[in-house]
């Protein structure tokens, strides 16, 4: 049994019998250890830790990071350890870190002396000597045998004759000691992250409103962005599944204008989306899934505003507006190869390229329907006063093949206050003047 900090304050200690623990705390909450969930969490942490070093390995109940090649990138050992520690805490975990020249020594130190750092390989044996044998992974029967011999620490064990130690405990035990002390190689199989990301997070209790999902969702997004950083990639489509006790899964999707791995930005988008979502039932678990990742190429950052370049800032604004107002409410405009103004554009994804269309100056703002203009006694168009016509003209005669035929002369008109309008005159019939658009 392992006791939490709250249990330890009530006098409960690791290794105590459960009956004795209940006697000390009648409201004791006991949870059965879930080895499969622990392994799943450790595997996701391995994918997240790839942002600090490409050499990550899984060990029983531990994660091994070969950080020697990463020190120059992060500045020094203290800076790197600080980044790892902050990241682990932000994910909601508590780590017992240790640093040593060999993987096995680091594992032993993490169990017996959390926070220990041994940077000098020549001092490894002396620093490991005080460690109890219980944290070395030796079989319980072997530890009991050594205890009867008065051997209780690693230093006691290392002082025994090597040949006699191999004869009594086996060559594997001696080889294990050699690996820990750096006398024998200790290669570890590297962890290979998956091609896509999927993580499930059970909640400690049912959450009845979307505000209560902020912290667990932040954990999943930080895991995702660590995974993406390790792969040098970004996500453009993300699916969040909200699991309910009885109702069908509620899925909240994000479709981004460009790949990203900015956890803060993704969190802002999901807060906007969740605020507009109604929960059919309380939520008991979350699953975050990214079916495809995209490479993010290196780029130069803006010296004065390193968080976003102008293009990124525009994309982030579009995504926030879509999250708040809905995808259909925020659209881009794309030109169409068509001379008739009403049909020369279409809605498109923001930033999407359209057909190449070369026209004289046209306004972005077209009226839903042209509005007839009054004319002066000499036939000149007016709009709350006289209009001055600029010399440029655009004649459009088109649409005879689909029943939408038009024949017009367009020009730019300016009033006495400097406002500019797009007007046209019919080439047939009454030859009236019409207002069709307004320039900004």
> What domains, with CATH codes, occur in the chain?
96-193 (no CATH), 197-327 (3.30.1490.100), 356-438 (no CATH)
Contact by Cβ (8 Å): 98, 114:
yes
Contact by Cβ (8 Å): 25, 7:
yes
DSSP letter at 386?
Answer: B
Nearest to 259 by CA among 286, 228, 283: 228
Contact by Cβ (8 Å): 316, 265:
yes
Sorting pLDDT into bands at 50, 70 and 90, what band is 349? confident
Contact by Cβ (8 Å): 96, 69:
no
**Structure confidence at residue 204 (pLDDT):** 87
Q: Which residues lie across from 293 on neighbouring strands?
A: 235
pTM of the model: 0.68
pLDDT (tens digit per residue) in 126-171: 999 999 998 888 888 888 989 998 999 999 999 999 898 889 888 9
Sorting pLDDT into bands at 50, 70 and 90, what band is 394? very high
User: Average model confidence (pLDDT) for the chain?
Assistant: 89
Mean pLDDT of 190-196: 93
Q: Which residue in this structure is represented by tokens 């830790």? A: 49
For helices 310-325 and 263-275, give the axis angle rounded to 10 degrees.
20
Cα–Cα dist 235/192, whole Å = 19
Coil, strand, or helix at residue 39?
Answer: helix
Mean pLDDT of 376-404: 91
* Residues 370-401: b if buried by 16+ CB within 10 A, e if exposed: beebeeeeeeebebeeebeeeeeebebeebee
Cα–Cα dist 363/421, whole Å = 8
> How many other C-beta atoms lie within 10 A of the C-beta of residue 81?
17
pLDDT (tens digit per residue) in 273-283: 898 888 999 99
Sorting pLDDT into bands at 50, 70 and 90, what band is 313? low
Percent of the chain with pLDDT over 70: 95
pLDDT (tens digit per residue) in 85-118: 999 999 989 899 999 999 999 999 999 999 999 9
In 17-176, beta strands by DSSP E: 56-59, 62-65
**Structure confidence at residue 87 (pLDDT):** 94
CA distance to 105, 119, 155, 218, per residue, from 186 (Å): 11, 18, 21, 37
The yes-or-no verdict on residue 184 having pLDDT over 80 is yes
pLDDT (tens digit per residue) in 21-48: 888 888 888 888 888 888 999 999 999 9
Q: Are strands 233-243 and 283-290 parallel, antiparallel or unpaired?
A: antiparallel
Burial class of residue 402 in the structure, from the number of CB atoms within 10 Å of its CB (0-12 exposed, 13-18 middle, 19+ buried):
exposed
């Amino acid at each position: 049994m392992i006791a939490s900090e709250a249990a330890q304050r009530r006098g409960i200690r690791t290794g105590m019998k459960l009956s004795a623990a209940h006697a000390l705390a009648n409201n004791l909450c006991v949870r059965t250890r879930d080895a499969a969930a622990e392994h799943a969490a450790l595997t996701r942490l391995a994918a997240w830790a790839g942002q600090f070093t490409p050499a990550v390995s899984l060990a029983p109940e531990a994660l091994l990071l070969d950080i020697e090649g990463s020190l120059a990138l992060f500045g020094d050992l203290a800076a790197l350890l600080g980044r790892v520690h902050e990241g682990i805490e932000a994910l909601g975990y508590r780590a017992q870190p240790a640093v040593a020249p060999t993987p096995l020594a680091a594992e032993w130190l993490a169990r017996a002396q959390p926070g220990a750092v041994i940077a000098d390989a020549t001092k490894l044996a002396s620093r490991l000597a005080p460690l109890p044998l219980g944290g070395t992974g030796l079989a319980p029967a072997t530890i009991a045998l050594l205890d009867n011999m008065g051997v209780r620490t690693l230093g006691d064990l290392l002082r025994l004759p090597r040949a006699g130690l191999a004869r009594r405990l086996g060559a594997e035990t001696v080889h294990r000691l050699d690996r820990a002390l750096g006398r024998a190689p200790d290669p570890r199989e590297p962890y290979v992250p998956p091609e896509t990301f999927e993580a499930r997070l059970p909640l400690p209790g049912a959450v009845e409103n979307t505000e209560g999902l902020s912290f667990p969702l932040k954990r999943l997004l930080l895991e995702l962005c660590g995974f993406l950083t390790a792969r040098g990639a970004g996500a453009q489509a993300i699916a969040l599944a909200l699991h309910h006790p009885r109702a069908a899964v509620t899925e909240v999707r994000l479709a981004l204008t460009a790949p990203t791995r900015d956890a803060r930005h993704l969190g802002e988008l999901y807060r906007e989306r969740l605020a507009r979502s109604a929960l059919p039932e309380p939520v008991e678990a979350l699953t975050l899934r990214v079916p495809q990742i995209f490479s993010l190429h290196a780029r130069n950052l803006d010296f004065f505003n390193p968080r976003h370049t102008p293009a990124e800032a525009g994309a982030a604004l579009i995504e926030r507006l879509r999250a708040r107002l809905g995808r259909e409410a925020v659209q881009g405009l794309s030109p169409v190869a068509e001379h008739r103004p009403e049909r020369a554009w279409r809605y498109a994804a923001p930033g999407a390229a359209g057909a190449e269309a070369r026209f004289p100056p046209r306004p972005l703002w077209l009226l839903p329907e042209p509005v007839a203009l009054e004319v002066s006694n000499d036939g000149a168009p007016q709009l709350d006063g006289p209009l001055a016509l600029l010399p440029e003209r655009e004649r459009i005669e088109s649409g005879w093949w689909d029943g939408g035929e038009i024949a017009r002369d367009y020009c730019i008109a300016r009033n006495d206050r400097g406002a500019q309008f797009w007007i046209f005159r019919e080439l047939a019939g009454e030859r009236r003047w019409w207002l069709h658009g307004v320039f900004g």
